[in-house]
């Protein structure tokens, strides 16, 4: 297992994968610790979680550099990711006890209520694109609820995985409350089946989601999946075009275009399409391409060479079938996995790009006659993670947002995750929710207690 710098293809570090016996031992150790951890007080867990936020901020520069070196995120974004990870720790440290207090319900009993109780060991299969944030948004609520965590991180960000485990130890968490597993994907199914593992959460590809969901279902275990997205970015004729252009480009190019909730399908009203396209073309030119460790860099390399190849295949298929590339369209020569910001239009259902997620700096342009056509096109996707809708009429925006088939709709703003708001998708974007009070309750036994 190798960690490779995507900016220059140099090997950062090699990791030895754990064998089956070592994995089994770690599962047993984490389960044993859960028997103790589940009885700890919210006050104790909260103190540790606040410590965790402090450790993240103290080591913010170091952690950000690890992120940028391993997966190519611009350093300014990596610094923000570490800060956001600290925020989610503080959020659940402050809110978890109130979220999980007994809920009194009326019934024929003298008293009846719901008690929220932890399940045990939760396996987290996490992706490389937000290697700190994705882990902490799972770990903070799971551990505050009394569960313990096993992390199977993406193979190309094992440096991040090790740093995260060290972070928990430095914050004072008992050993084995949170444990990293240096393993490849082939070992995940056996872990899901282990009797001590009670639930699984996965953020990743549709393929990985199907595998984990299948293994979890066969073992009759709970799973939460956050998979791909092909988010519509709808700009209506009455939108503030300058704002919509700025945030559209920001959303599409954030994280080098490698975000599940990035704006991917730009659905433009015909009356403003030409002006909007000129605005985003101008905005794209402001994004400096370079070494992600350099603070002037706004757009770095894709995380792996195969991701660059996937984009080339999608674009060639589209062009061969009649699409037109307005900007970019090819890899940038050199050692790193750099790809030009690309604008493509005249897309039809015969093209793969019409149906697939594009994981890179590609703007897919669709032009519609009216709002009805915009909503129909927005929903003509097998994904349903997020959406962004732009209009100066907020009442109109809310009315249309209710008709968009997705887990979230942001009106006059880019789709984003926030610890205070539930996050997740529908259709092939997965099921279940993370964050907010909804997310912390996913891996709990909601136990009814009836007193006669």
**Residue 363: strand pairing partners:** 343
Mean pLDDT within 237-244: 98
Tell me the CA distances in angstroms from 415 to 60, 105, 227, 230, 266, one per residue in order: 25, 35, 15, 12, 13
- pTM for this prediction: 0.97
Q: Which tokens is 300 given?
A: 């770095």
**To the nearest whole percent, how much of the chain has pLDDT over 90?**
100
For residues 195 and 36, what is the distance between their CA atoms, to the nearest angstrom?
18
> Over the chain, what is the mean pLDDT?
98
Checking DSSP bridges between strand 409-411 and strand 387-390, what pairing results, if any? parallel
pLDDT value of residue 112 = 98
The whole-number pLDDT of residue 19 equals 96
354-358: average pLDDT: 97
Residues 136-159 have a mean pLDDT of: 98
Chain segment 173-213, per-residue pLDDT in tens: 999 999 999 999 999 999 999 999 999 999 999 999 999 99
Mean pLDDT confidence for 363-380: 98
Q: What is the pLDDT of residue 158?
A: 98
Mean pLDDT value of segment 120-136: 98
Please report which confidence band the pLDDT of residue 449 belongs to, taking 50, 70 and 90 as the band edges: very high
Query: CA nearest 188: which of 140, 141, 151?
Result: 151
Stretch 414-420: mean pLDDT: 98
Residues 6+ apart with CB under 8 A from 294: 75
The catalytic residues are 226, 260
- Give mean pLDDT, residues 235-251: 98
What the chain holds in terms of domains, given with CATH numbers, is 2-227+429-451 (3.40.605.10), 231-418 (3.40.309.10)
């Amino acid at each position: 297992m190798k960690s490779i710098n995507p900016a220059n293809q140099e090997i950062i570090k090699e990791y030895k994968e754990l064998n089956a016996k070592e994995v089994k031992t770690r599962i047993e150790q984490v389960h044993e610790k859960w028997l103790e951890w589940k009885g700890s007080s919210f006050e104790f867990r909260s103190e540790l979680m606040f410590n965790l936020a402090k450790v993240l901020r103290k080591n913010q520069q170091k952690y950000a550099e690890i992120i940028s070196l391993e997966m190519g995120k611009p350093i300014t974004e990596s610094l923000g990711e570490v800060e956001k990870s600290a925020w989610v720790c503080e959020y659940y440290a402050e809110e978890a006890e109130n979220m999980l207090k007994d809920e009194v319900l009326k019934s024929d009993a003298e008293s009846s209520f719901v008690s929220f109780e932890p399940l045990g060991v939760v396996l987290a299969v996490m992706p490389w694109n937000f290697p700190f944030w994705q882990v902490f948004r799972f770990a903070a609520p799971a551990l505050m609820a009394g569960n313990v965590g096993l992390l199977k991180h993406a193979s190309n960000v094992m440096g991040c995985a090790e740093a995260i485990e060290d972070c928990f130890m430095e914050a004072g968490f008992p050993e084995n409350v949170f444990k990293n597993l240096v393993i490849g994907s082939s070992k995940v199914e056996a872990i899901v089946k282990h009797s001590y593992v009670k639930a699984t959460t996965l953020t990743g590809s549709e393929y990985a989601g199907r595998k984990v969901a299948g293994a979890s279902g066969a073992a009759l275990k709970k799973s939460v999946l956050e998979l791909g997205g092909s988010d519509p970015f709808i700009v209506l004729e009455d939108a503030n075009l300058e704002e919509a252009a700025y945030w559209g480009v920001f959303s599409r190019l954030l994280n080098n275009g490698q975000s599940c909730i990035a704006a991917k399908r730009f659905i433009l009203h015909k009356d403003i399409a030409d002006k909007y396209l000129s605005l985003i073309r101008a905005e794209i030119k402001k994004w400096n391409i370079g070494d992600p460790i350099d603070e002037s860099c706004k757009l770095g390399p894709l995380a792996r060479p195969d991701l660059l190849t996937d984009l080339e295949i999608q674009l060639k298929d589209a062009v061969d079938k009649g699409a037109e590339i307005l900007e970019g369209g090819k890899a940038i020569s050199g050692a790193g996995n750099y790809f030009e910001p690309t604008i493509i239009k005249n897309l039809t259902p015969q093209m793969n790009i019409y149906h697939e997620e594009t994981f890179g700096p590609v703007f897919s342009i669709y032009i519609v006659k009216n709002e009805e056509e915009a909503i129909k096109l927005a929903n003509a996707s097998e994904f349903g993670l997020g959406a962004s809708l732009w209009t100066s009429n907020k009442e109109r925006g809310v009315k249309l947002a209710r008709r968009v088939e997705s887990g979230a709709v942001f009106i006059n703003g880019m789709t984003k995750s926030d610890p205070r708001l539930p996050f997740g998708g529908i259709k092939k974007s997965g099921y279940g929710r993370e964050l907010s009070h909804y997310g912390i309750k996913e891996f709990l036994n909601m136990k009814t207690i009836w007193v006669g």
